[in-house]
Amino acid sequence: MIGLILAGGIGSRFWPLSRRRRPKQLLDLLGGGSLVAATARRVEPLCGAERTWVCTTEELAAAVAAELPGLDSSRILGEPSGRNTAPAIGWAVRTMPEAARREVIAVMPSDHWVADEDAFREALSRGAAAVERGDHEVVTVGIAPAWPETGYGYLELEAPAEPLGVQPVLRFTEKPDAETAARFKASGRHFWNAGIFLFRGTVLLDLYREHLPELATGIERLVADGLDAARRREIYAGLESISIDYGLMERLDSIGCVVADCGWNDIGSWGLLAEALPADGDGNRTVGDTLAVDARDNLLFADEGAVAVIGVEGLAVVRTGDSVLVVPRERAQDVREIVERLVARGRLDLL
Amino acid sequence: MIGLILAGGIGSRFWPLSRRRRPKQLLDLLGGGSLVAATARRVEPLCGAERTWVCTTEELAAAVAAELPGLDSSRILGEPSGRNTAPAIGWAVRTMPEAARREVIAVMPSDHWVADEDAFREALSRGAAAVERGDHEVVTVGIAPAWPETGYGYLELEAPAEPLGVQPVLRFTEKPDAETAARFKASGRHFWNAGIFLFRGTVLLDLYREHLPELATGIERLVADGLDAARRREIYAGLESISIDYGLMERLDSIGCVVADCGWNDIGSWGLLAEALPADGDGNRTVGDTLAVDARDNLLFADEGAVAVIGVEGLAVVRTGDSVLVVPRERAQDVREIVERLVARGRLDLL
């Protein structure tokens, strides 16, 4: 199987740890190295380093390459600008040699957490087998909801998950409200959309031509011989900015789903990072030099210096070299507002 | 009038800003320099630099002297060990030349906040005049409660305060419970005990001989001619450790009170510091580089780097070079527990 790791994006919800030049996928949020390196290691038994590709941004390509010393830099692609996932995946697949394009490709984000990596790989293998057999053009990975998350998209299946099966997806649902999320969690037929897809590259490009014809044409122009960097940058900037979920997957009649029982979250915020860390007896999750007195259910994160709290509950307290952030865990997704304010104030020194 | 500024103590409730070698009185908590320098400046119009004395610890004497360049270092006394206020004041007064001891001495802590310094000085002058006239052996300073504080001691007068009077204190009350504090605030007859006392030095030493005879004897041994440093240290360490409030003032039959309408607090914690800082439209009080989004009534203090909060209320968030503290403002006095834990863990690097 070919692995295609998506490592663009800015991850501003991890401010103050994430910065323009050090976004989330380059951070060591869970111990054991950067998230992008952990992602490559996770699929190494399936793909091997020589069959792993990475799509990131031009600006981050060198930093990503430094995290992945076993990967040939020719397979680390740098987008000239950010145009969301449909252009990035289409361009990366089209850039691969034709033999690779004919194989099953697993595309996945670079910044997720997986507890049981064997179970995760088993699900990917099951999905790849279904693609190889031709049962589905595309197979996606679903995760049984561990809590009624309102920040994720959901996949609805016809029937409760079969542990070793591949089942058709009835529909995609974007971020639900709390009531709907609770119903989804209880149903047994709704699964978190992990944003991981398996397909043959050639089939994906056919689907682009059918459902995203302008994007498909743009991608062909990008890989034409003799294109200079300025022209490539210009063409890329003109591609439609659209996610592969919305632009393609949700429009397909038939898409398969493998349910992975592996413990997963997208570490989309400090609050979700907390879910991926072990809790002490008071429910506090800590990284670095921290002290909690009479405090419960907090995330305390210190990449240098010390963080001490007393008498607080449900907070994320994050300390990096020059900045401190305090936010209730349940509002951690709003950290983007901090970043927006800093942008508005011209505080590039903090971004 | 002679000024005697008490500048010992460790102020551990201002951790992480206060450290063993940089206690509260040496901090610039309100802008405008260290608290001890602000205290000396405040009484300078009454005492003049040549009539101002400071009692601190041996360890801090050099740092205190550096904050008070106008003061002759012979008038900055360093206690060999911490034995609370009664020994410190008695020893400092006994150390003064006899002519000074016969004058009115105003003794005051070095770490308080005063909003209206003219009103404060007027009250001191009023008290000094009463001592000079012989109306009272000791006059203390009361402050009309701005809120029903449970962390302060209170002075009870017979009648509501006369703005320009000197009235007898009926009794001292130690830190009251919340219900009692609310009753005190409403009474018009209860005042915060600011811990500031006026007396003639000779009279004070007589009162020591009457009420604290062993301490008085120890102090006389301390000032005997020809004592070497080791012996002085030994004698000082053997003095009874007791506050002047408990050891003397609360035992006197007659003590006068001048009420100062000056805006005062003892900055006894991060929570009380907040009361002394101006609030923005959301009730946030900030020092340094801070950002508050959808947040109310917080104290944000950054002596370097940036502090950002979102969605929190009523917290103190303090950042110093190597440490971060987060505590509800109303629990700020419990920061001592953090310091105790750090001591127990041997974390001298943070203390």
DSSP-assigned letter for residue A311: S
What is the rounded distance in angstroms from the CA atom of residue A325 to the CA atom of residue B292?
Answer: 10
Residues in A whose CB is inside 8 Å of some CB of B read 15-16, 291, 293-294, 302, 304-312, 315, 317, 319, 321-328, 331, 334-335, 337-338, 341-342, 347, 350
Q: Per DSSP, what are the bridge partners of residue A258?
A: A141
- Quick one: pLDDT at residue A254? 85
- Quick one: pLDDT at residue A109? 97
- Quick one: pLDDT at residue B321? 80
- Dump pLDDT digits (tens) for B118-161: 999 999 999 999 999 999 999 999 999 999 999 899 999 999 98
Confidence of residue B253 (pLDDT cuts 50, 70, 90): confident
Q: Report pTM.
A: 0.86
| Chain A residues with beta carbon closer than 8 angstroms to that of B293 | 334, 337-338, 341
Q: State which residue of chain A sits closest to B298, comparing Cα positions.
A: A326
Mutate to test the interface with B, among A303, A317, A326 (most CBs of B within 10 A): A326
The two three-digit tokens of residue B274, written as one number = 């907040």
Contact across the interface for B294 and A325, Cβ inside 8 Å: no
Contact across the interface for B334 and A310, Cβ inside 8 Å: yes
Helix or strand (DSSP H, E) at A132: helix A117-133
Task: Quote the minimal CA–CA distance from B307 to chain A in Å.
Answer: 5
| Chain A residues with beta carbon closer than 8 angstroms to that of B304 | 322
| Closest residue by Cα to residue A2 from A98, A114, A133, A66 | A98
Confidence of residue B245 (pLDDT cuts 50, 70, 90): very high
The two three-digit tokens of residue A197, written as one number = 């897809």
Helix intervals (H) in A135-212: 178-187, 201-211
- Quick one: pLDDT at residue A11? 67
What is the rounded distance in angstroms from the CA atom of residue A259 to the CA atom of residue B83?
Answer: 69
If you average pLDDT over residues A112-121, what whole number do you get?
Answer: 96
| Chain B residues with beta carbon closer than 8 angstroms to that of A311 | 327-328, 331, 334
What is the rounded distance in angstroms from the CA atom of residue B217 to the CA atom of residue B237?
Answer: 14
| Chain A residues with beta carbon closer than 8 angstroms to that of B350 | 306
- A193/B163: higher pLDDT: A193
Contact across the interface for A328 and B309, Cβ inside 8 Å: no
| Chain A residues with beta carbon closer than 8 angstroms to that of B331 | 310-311
- Quick one: pLDDT at residue A226? 87
- Dump pLDDT digits (tens) for A306-345: 999 999 999 999 998 889 999 999 999 899 999 999 999 9
| Closest residue by Cα to residue A109 from A64, A150, A184, A54 | A54
Angle at A36 between CA A239 and CA A109, to 5 degrees: 45
Mutate to test the interface with A, among B323, B326, B341 (most CBs of A within 10 A): B326
- Quick one: pLDDT at residue B148? 95
Query: pLDDT exceeding 90 applies to what percent of chain A?
Result: 86
In this structure, the strands spanning B2-6 and B52-57 are parallel
| Chain A residues with beta carbon closer than 8 angstroms to that of B312 | 315, 326-328
If you average pLDDT over residues A92-97, what whole number do you get?
Answer: 98
- Dump pLDDT digits (tens) for A241-268: 999 999 999 999 889 999 999 999 999 8
Confidence of residue B225 (pLDDT cuts 50, 70, 90): confident
Residues in B whose CB is inside 8 Å of some CB of A read 15-16, 291, 293-294, 302, 304-312, 315, 317, 319, 321-328, 331, 334-335, 337-338, 341-342, 347, 350
Q: Per DSSP, what are the bridge partners of residue A277?
A: none
What is the rounded distance in angstroms from the CA atom of residue B123 to the CA atom of residue B165?
Answer: 9
Phi, psi dihedral angles at A314 (to 5 degrees): 70, 25
If you average pLDDT over residues B215-243, what whole number do you get?
Answer: 95
| pLDDT over 80 (residue B12) | no
| Chain B residues with beta carbon closer than 8 angstroms to that of A302 | 324
Q: State which residue of chain B sits closest to A345, comparing Cα positions.
A: B291
Query: pLDDT exceeding 90 applies to what percent of chain B?
Result: 87
| Sequence-ordered list of residues with C-beta below 8 angstroms from that of B338, at least 6 positions apart, any chain | A291, A293, A308, A310, B15, B325
Confidence of residue B49 (pLDDT cuts 50, 70, 90): very high
CB B219 within 8 A of CB B195: no
The two three-digit tokens of residue B343, written as one number = 């001591």
Contact across the interface for A305 and B294, Cβ inside 8 Å: no
If you average pLDDT over residues B250-276, what whole number do you get?
Answer: 92
- Quick one: pLDDT at residue B56? 97
Contact across the interface for B328 and A311, Cβ inside 8 Å: yes
Task: Quote the minimal CA–CA distance from A19 to chain B in Å.
Answer: 14
Quickly count: other Cβ atoms within 10 Å of residue A288's Cβ: 14
Q: State which residue of chain B sits closest to A306, comparing Cα positions.
A: B323
Contact across the interface for B310 and A331, Cβ inside 8 Å: yes
| pLDDT over 90 (residue B22) | no
| pLDDT over 70 (residue B76) | yes
| Chain A residues with beta carbon closer than 8 angstroms to that of B341 | 291, 293
| pLDDT over 90 (residue B304) | no
- Quick one: pLDDT at residue A31? 80
Task: Quote the minimal CA–CA distance from B17 to chain A in Å.
Answer: 13
Task: Quote the minimal CA–CA distance from B306 to chain A in Å.
Answer: 5
Q: State which residue of chain B sits closest to A301, comparing Cα positions.
A: B324
The shortest CB-CB distance from A309 to any of B305, B327, B342 is to B327
ipTM here: 0.85
Quickly count: other Cβ atoms within 10 Å of residue B297's Cβ: 16
- Dump pLDDT digits (tens) for A260-299: 999 999 998 999 999 999 999 999 999 999 999 999 999 9
Pairs of residues, one from chain A and one from chain B, whose beta carbons lie less than 8 Å apart: 113
| Chain B residues with beta carbon closer than 8 angstroms to that of A326 | 307-310, 312, 315, 317, 326
| Sequence-ordered list of residues with C-beta below 8 angstroms from that of B332, at least 6 positions apart, any chain | B13, B269, B270, B271, B272, B316
If you average pLDDT over residues B158-178, what whole number do you get?
Answer: 92
Contact across the interface for A322 and B305, Cβ inside 8 Å: yes
Query: pLDDT exceeding 70 applies to what percent of chain B?
Result: 100
Task: Quote the minimal CA–CA distance from B285 to chain A in Å.
Answer: 15
